Amino acid sequence: MDYKDYYKILGVPRTADEKEIKKTYRRLARQFHPDVNPGDKAAEAHFKEINEANEVLSDPEKRRKYDELGQNYQRWQQTGSGPGGFDWSQWSARPGGGTRVEYGDLNDLFGGAGGSGFSDFFESLFGGMGGGSGAMRGAQPAGRSRDIEHPVDISLEEAFQGATRLVEMDGRRLEVKIPAGVKTGSRVRVAGEALAGGKSGGHGDLYLRINVLPHATFERRDDDLHCEVPVDLFAALLGGEVRVPTLAGPVALRVPPGTQSGRAFRLTGQGMPKLRAPQERGDLYAKVRVMLPEKLNEREQKLVREWAQIRGIAG
């Protein structure tokens, strides 16, 4: 098994703090998101690697274990030995006492793209610590009920509209509804649907821990959304109507004359539904990015020079 350098995958130093890791992850996730690179298998594969690296480096306990492994692996490499002789067994995740229930491929379990799809390297290190494993886990002494928790990735559109996932539990297929407005870290509880810990034990609860994937257009901040809107030079100078994307469809925004690049307009009620009150929604902040003409013909150049002279600017 080959060692994965998660710091190299994210492009951050080993001394990077939580803020730097989060900032870098968000930038790369937007760059390589499948919605931005439709049909690009290489970008899709790198997107998965980025998510896996972030899963480890953003979790203090996983990062501590990974760093400890890395130090030992580097010392092994310095002896001139290859990965084939490295003792991986001491790093492999071992579930504690209790029950471990496996359902095979996570992508099948959670309906294709909803699964995490982490690598064998990740599974070997963190299979018993939660995260994107291909098993649903929970541990309690035999004879007692237990809860089961598992992460599920959803898109921002699914978080906006609500979604469903099919889950197979004890030979039954359950359709779990994920409500609109969920955030990363939200837990969806399905009462009494986890397996019992033993013959005399009752059923525990199933929890889906939600991770909302980065979006190519919008940045979410609580229930508000932020995006950039390109505005041509003449609309910015003279005022005009521009189209602003929202998760419910584009809307018109009237920008006043003299609108500066970087100015943000608040569109009330065009953000995310509020989890406890889905009829209410946050706001959308559209930041203007003024677009200059890329090529000017002779007449246009002449007019711009005349305009510069009128404003007392040497041209």
pLDDT in tens, 27-55: 998 899 887 888 898 988 898 899 889 98
The pLDDT > 70 percentage for the chain reads: 74
Name every residue whose Cβ is closer than 8 Å to that of residue 41 and which is 6 or more positions away in sequence.
Answer: none
- What does the alpha-carbon distance between residue 153 and residue 29 come to, in Å, rounded to a whole number? 13
In three-state secondary structure terms, 112 is helix
- What does the alpha-carbon distance between residue 87 and residue 73 come to, in Å, rounded to a whole number? 9
pLDDT of 131: 43
97 residue type, one letter: G
* Comma-separated ranges of CATH 2.60.260.20 domains in the chain: 99-214, 219-310
Question: What confidence tens digit (pLDDT) does each residue in 202-211 have?
Answer: 567 788 888 9
Position with higher pLDDT, 75 vs 292: 292
Contact 21, 58 (CB under 8 A): yes
Instruction: Among 67-71, 81-85, 248-252, name the most confident range.
Output: 248-252
Alpha-carbon separation of residue 44 from 35, 115, 200, 203 (angstroms): 10, 14, 46, 38
pLDDT of 235: 93
User: Which element (helix H / strand E) includes 102?
Assistant: strand 100-102
Q: Helical H runs in the chain?
A: 6-10, 18-32, 41-57, 60-78, 106-109, 120-126, 156-161, 233-238, 298-310
- Confidence band (pLDDT; 50, 70, 90) for 8? very high
Task: Say whether pLDDT at 226 is over 80.
Answer: yes
- What does the alpha-carbon distance between residue 138 and residue 147 come to, in Å, rounded to a whole number? 6
User: Which element (helix H / strand E) includes 213?
Assistant: none
Which residues are paired to 137 by β-bridges?
A: 100, 149
CATH 3.30.310.10 fits 219-310, yes or no: no
pLDDT of 114: 37
For the segment 62-67, the average pLDDT, to the nearest whole number, is: 86
Which residue do the tokens 């896996």 mark? 52
pLDDT of 10: 94
111 residue type, one letter: G
- Confidence band (pLDDT; 50, 70, 90) for 135? very low
Name every residue whose Cβ is closer than 8 Å to that of residue 157 and which is 6 or more positions away in sequence.
Answer: 247
Domain at 99-214: CATH code: 2.60.260.20
The 10 Å Cβ neighbour count of residue 154 is 23
Task: Using a cut of 0.85, tell me whether the model's pTM lies above it.
Answer: no
For the segment 146-153, the average pLDDT, to the nearest whole number, is: 79
* Comma-separated ranges of CATH 1.10.287.110 domains in the chain: 1-88
In three-state secondary structure terms, 165 is strand
Alpha-carbon separation of residue 116 from 9, 135, 147, 231 (angstroms): 17, 11, 20, 37
- Helices (H) then strands (E): counts for the chain: 9, 15
Task: Say whether pLDDT at 106 is over 50.
Answer: no
Alpha-carbon separation of residue 274 from 61, 135, 147, 161, 162 (angstroms): 31, 31, 27, 11, 12
Question: What confidence tens digit (pLDDT) does each residue in 249-303 have?
Answer: 999 999 999 999 999 999 999 999 998 888 899 999 999 999 998 889 999 999 9
Contact 1, 123 (CB under 8 A): no
- Confidence band (pLDDT; 50, 70, 90) for 220? very high
Task: Say whether pLDDT at 101 is over 80.
Answer: no
Position with higher pLDDT, 115 vs 17: 17
Is the four-CA dihedral 14, 20, 24, 29 of positive or negative sign? positive
Pick the CATH number of 1-88 from 3.90.1300.10, 2.60.410.10, 1.10.287.110, 3.20.20.70: 1.10.287.110
Task: Say whether pLDDT at 64 is over 60.
Answer: yes
Position with higher pLDDT, 183 vs 170: 183
What is the pLDDT of the chain when averaged over all its residues? Answer: 78
Q: Helical H runs in 130-207?
A: 156-161
Enter the tokens of residue 130: 């939660």
